């Protein structure tokens, strides 16, 4: 996808874009130019009247929930490992620091791998990308369950991360494929349940399995669970990539068909546009995965401030999670199983945020639409080039992010003061509520701004948060030893607060920035 032009910021993807004439073609005569413009306008009106997605509301919920649960494997595999680190270190005869290195390398690969698979899925489809991810993941789990060597553990954990981490970007790709900006809030809960369950439920599973069955059975469990998820996905998850199936009404390529694709398109009650179908077939390519589309978004001056805030929000979250086991063992003499239960309040906080902020996101969007007289047509493509997307999203996200930052600071000082157990437990709930809720809204904003590249934009987001998360997870213990737990978490939270300045400024200048970006792209195309 290195040669693919960036999708216009703030505009939901238009299925007709693939069939638009190239700017590189020779300039036509005046009469031909007028005819071409007339044809383009007719196509645009036709696309505006076409439903954005043929999937019903229950079908959208099922698709997004399936993608979210498939994306659960990435955060689950990272955190299910935490309670067993001491046990693994003893069995392999290495230090806990060396085992923690496998956690850090996992997070690094978790950030890098989606760069490759996201661009691939935009060309070859979501289903082939899922098949590649799960094949790699299941092979890695089998090898991890059979090995007893530190080097093998380190290498195979990176392979395991490479397989599972792509599913996070693919899950957000499903969101961009099926849901418009005006209604994304109501689907946040379905799209985010996996990322919430991963850090909260998985450590409990890991603690129970490690204590009663041994750490090898963590990987046997992951192998069995991934196989149980892979088979239904292979049989029933439909292809949703808009570059291949448009709004879902066009038959997918052979490698992207599921069990019901043939029945669906054989029994369809509506004609399809043969010209558009031909253009969609030309989009289909099995390309060599490339990181360039993701890097292009990552270093886009417009996206970078949002990605930095997303990355530091999750870096603080990972720093809290990675410090729970050692800090609660030190303060309250918790064993690995008891420490794993401490993840429940932070997970519940994130789940409550996901269930409540979605409605707030849609309500605030509708409020601004009414205020501006902005037309909102259900399930129809809408041009957001003059709509204050940044303002509508950040008015919900910013208070949550500030709440999360304040809760992290308070949590650090309560852990340093060794107060009653109730204090940090309550604060962990607010950490989960503020950080996870704010992060999810920022993620919605990224999908809004790069609607035609939702998977790629999520991969850029994932890269930022995983690399910063790996750094914070590795640094929190040495920082706490050097300056104390209170100052360690205060420093991280203050950095996070400073990173929110960029997204906050976009509330005022977002529309102008998007307009300038479009003008630069048009000038670049005209000069090409």
Q: DSSP readout, 36-86? A: HHHHHHHHHHHHHHSBS----HHHHHHHHHHHHHHHTHHHHHHHTTGGGHH
- Cα–chain center distance at 339: 27
- Using only the alpha carbons of the chain, give its radius of gyration: 24
Query: At 8, is the pLDDT very low, low, confident or very high (cuts 50, 70, 90)?
Result: very low
392 vs 191: CA distance, rounded Å: 20
501 vs 523: CA distance, rounded Å: 30
The pair of structure tokens assigned to 101 is 């290195």
296 vs 375: CA distance, rounded Å: 32
Mean model confidence pLDDT for the chain: 82
pLDDT given for residue 45 in this prediction: 59
146-155 long-range contacts, CB within 8 A, separation 24+? 148/91, 148/92, 149/92, 150/92, 150/94, 150/98, 153/88, 153/92, 153/102, 154/101, 154/102, 154/105
257 vs 445: CA distance, rounded Å: 31
Provide the residue count of the chain.
528
Residues near 287 by beta carbon (within 8 Å), at least 6 away in sequence = 1, 119, 120, 123, 124
pLDDT given for residue 429 in this prediction: 95
pLDDT given for residue 6 in this prediction: 40
For residue 217, pLDDT over 90 is answered with yes
454 vs 285: CA distance, rounded Å: 18
Residue 414's SS3 state is: helix
Query: At 21, is the pLDDT very low, low, confident or very high (cuts 50, 70, 90)?
Result: very low
Summarised one tens digit per residue, pLDDT across range 424-458 is 999 999 999 999 899 888 888 888 888 777 777 87
Fold of 54-237+291-527: Growth Hormone; Chain: A; (1.20.1250)
Residue 264, classified by CB atoms within 10 Å of its CB into exposed (0-12), middle (13-18) or buried (19+), is middle
For the segment 231-239, the average pLDDT, to the nearest whole number, is 90
The pair of structure tokens assigned to 110 is 């978790």
For the segment 44-65, the average pLDDT, to the nearest whole number, is 78
For the segment 297-316, the average pLDDT, to the nearest whole number, is 88
What does the domain layout of the chain look like in residue ranges? Answer: 54-237+291-527
Least confident of 182-191, 223-232, 299-308, 411-420: 182-191
pLDDT given for residue 393 in this prediction: 92
Query: At 528, is the pLDDT very low, low, confident or very high (cuts 50, 70, 90)?
Result: low
Summarised one tens digit per residue, pLDDT across range 366-414 is 899 889 888 777 767 777 888 888 999 999 999 999 999 999 999 999 9
More confident residue, 35 or 135: 135
Summarised one tens digit per residue, pLDDT across range 277-296 is 677 777 676 666 677 878 88
34 vs 54: CA distance, rounded Å: 33
pLDDT given for residue 46 in this prediction: 58
For residue 461, pLDDT over 80 is answered with yes
- HEC string of 320-384 equals HHHHHHHHHHHHHCCCHHHHHHCHHHHHHHHHHHHHHHHHHHHHHHHHHHHHHCCCCCCCECCEC
pLDDT given for residue 38 in this prediction: 61
Summarised one tens digit per residue, pLDDT across range 94-122 is 887 788 788 888 888 888 888 888 778 87
Residue 11's SS3 state is: strand
Summarised one tens digit per residue, pLDDT across range 148-204 is 999 999 999 999 999 998 888 888 788 888 888 778 777 777 777 777 777 677 888
């Amino acid at each position: 996808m290195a040669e693919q032009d960036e999708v216009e910021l703030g505009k939901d993807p238009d299925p007709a874009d693939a069939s638009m004439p190239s700017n590189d073609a020779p300039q036509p005569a005046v009469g031909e130019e007028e005819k071409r413009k007339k044809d383009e306008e007719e196509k645009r009106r036709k696309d505006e009247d076409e439903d954005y997605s043929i999937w019903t509301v229950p079908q959208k919920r099922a698709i997004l929930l399936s993608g979210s649960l498939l994306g659960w494997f990435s955060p689950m595999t990272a955190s299910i490992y935490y309670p067993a680190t001491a046990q693994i270190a003893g069995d392999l005869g290495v230090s806990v620091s060396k085992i923690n290195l496998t956690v850090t390398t996992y997070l690094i690969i978790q950030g890098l791998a989606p760069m490759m698979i996201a661009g691939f899925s935009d060309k070859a489809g979501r289903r082939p990308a899922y098949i590649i991810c799960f094949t790699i993941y299941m092979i890695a789990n089998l090898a991890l369950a059979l090995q007893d060597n530190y080097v093998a553990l380190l290498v195979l954990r990176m392979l395991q991360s490479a397989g599972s981490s792509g599913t996070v970007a693919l899950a957000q790709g499903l969101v961009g494929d099926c849901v418009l900006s005006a209604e994304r809030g109501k689907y946040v809960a379905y799209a985010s349940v996996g990322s919430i369950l991963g850090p909260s439920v998985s450590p409990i599973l890991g603690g129970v399995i490690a204590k009663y069955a041994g750490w090898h059975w963590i990987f046997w469990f992951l192998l069995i669970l991934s196989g149980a998820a892979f088979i239904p996905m292979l049989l029933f998850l439909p292809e949703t990539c808009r570059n291949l199936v448009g709004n879902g009404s066009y038959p997918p390529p052979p490698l992207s068909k599921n069990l019901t694709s043939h029945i669906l398109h054989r029994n369809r009650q509506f004609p399809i546009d043969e010209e558009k179908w031909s253009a969609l077939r030309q989009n289909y390519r099995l390309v060599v995965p490339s990181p360039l589309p993701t890097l292009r978004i990552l270093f886009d001056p417009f996206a970078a401030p949002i990605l930095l805030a997303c990355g530091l929000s999750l870096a603080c979250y990972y720093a809290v999670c990675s410090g729970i086991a050692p800090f609660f063992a030190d303060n309250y003499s918790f064993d690995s199983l008891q420490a794993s239960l401490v993840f429940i309040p932070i997970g519940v906080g994130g789940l409550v945020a996901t269930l409540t902020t979605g409605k707030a996101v849609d309500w605030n969007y509708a409020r601004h639409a009414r205020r501006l007289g902005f037309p909102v047509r259900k399930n129809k493509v809408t041009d957001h080039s003059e709509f204050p997307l940044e303002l509508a999203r950040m008015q919900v996200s910013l208070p949550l992010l500030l709440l999360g930052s304040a809760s992290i600071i308070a949590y650090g000082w309560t852990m340093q003061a060794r107060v009653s157990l109730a204090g940090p437990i309550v604060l962990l709930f607010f950490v989960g509520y503020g950080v996870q809720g704010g992060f999810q809204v920022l993620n919605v904003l990224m999908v809004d701004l790069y609607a035609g590249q939702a998977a790629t934009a999520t991969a850029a987001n994932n890269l930022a948060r995983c690399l910063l998360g790996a750094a914070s997870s590795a640094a929190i213990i040495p920082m706490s030893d050097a300056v104390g737990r209170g100052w360690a978490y205060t420093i991280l939270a203050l950095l996070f607060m400073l990173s929110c300045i960029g997204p906050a400024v976009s509330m005022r200048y977002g529309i102008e920035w998007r307009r300038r970006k479009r003008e630069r792209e048009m000038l670049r195309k005209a000069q090409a």
